[in-house]
Homo-oligomer: A and B are copies of this chain.
Amino acid sequence: MYDCIIIGKGPCGISCAIYLKRFNKNVLVIGSNYGSLEKASVIENYYGVGSISGLELAKKGEEQAKNLNIEVITDEVLEIEGLTVKTKTNEYNAKAIFLATGKTNKVNIPGINDIVVSYCATCDGFFFRKKKIALIGYGDYMLHEYDVLKNFTSDITVFTNENINSEYVNGKITKLFSNDNKKCVEVNNTVYEFDGIFIAANNDSLAISKHLGLVVDDNNKIMVENYKTNIDGIFAGGDAIGGLDQVSTSVSDGAKAAIEINKFLKEE
């Protein structure tokens, strides 16, 4: 049982871990990548570091945590249930969870904003019992969502850029749209009709917040008060809650959130 599991190993997550470790807390950091930071080719505006690539800075941060004997594992979180975090290979329990899951990944499929799609098999699968559904996505998270959806229906068509299974539909999705009560997926010139469409693009902030039932704002940022979400024991910070999308503010969020988490752990 960890005091706190931190999801995300970018600046916010690592900063939080370092502070909690200082408070003598038993923490675990789980992250599959460094999020938007690793896409920054040069960062020059983070005090004390000078010119550095985002990836290099992210690696330095992870190294720094490990040097302080903080456990950092590279794995993808597939589900959070209560205060249990499930990855592909393992399950971890904690007294608190800190979501430093970064920016919400936008799924850039033409038409996606004009129709209702679902981002959470666990939350919405039930509404599509014995219905015909599409699952658009990739990776372990898509497979996880597929497993969940199979509990509700056997009529699932998977659209993916990966050639895992011959039953999957490959190819670039050119459009999503509604037709009468049907949801349509157009790939090249073929149109597929469904009762519902599920997106499993990545296990990002949005998917996690939908799964957990966290309150988000119009930009899908997790709403917090002093880094506390609407669910007891679950905290969030950094780009996942909005703000400036800057290393400096994410690092500061991590530190401040650690102080709130430490208070929460004391009260427990």
Contact = CB atoms under 8 A, between A and B. Distances in A.
A46 interface: yes
A22 interface: yes
Contacts of A247: 47-48
A71 interface: no
A154 interface: no
- Chain A at the B interface: mostly helix, strand, loop or mixed? helix
Interface in A39-74: 44-52, 57, 60-61, 63-64, 67-68
Contact of A251 (B44, B68, B252): B252
Interface residues of A, number: 34
A60 B64 contact: no
A14 interface: yes
Contacts of A254: 47, 248
Contact of A46 (B48, B249, B256, B259): B48
A59 to B, nearest CB: 10
A261 to B, nearest CB: 14
Among A60, A63, A64, A248, max chain B CB count under 10 A is at A248
A18 B68 CA distance: 30
B45 A19 contact: yes
Given A252-B248, A255-B248, A256-B249, A45 B22 contact: yes
Interface of A: 11, 14-15, 18-19, 22, 44-52, 57, 60-61, 63-64, 67-68, 244, 246-249, 251-256, 259
22 contacts: A15-B45, A18-B45, A22-B45, A44-B68, A46-B48, A47-B61, A47-B247, A47-B251, A47-B254, A48-B52, A48-B60, A49-B49, A50-B64, A51-B67, A246-B252, A248-B251, A248-B252, A248-B255, A249-B252, A249-B255, A249-B256, A251-B251
Shortest Cβ-Cβ A-B pairs, 6 listed: A252-B252, A47-B251, A15-B47, A248-B255, A248-B251, A248-B252
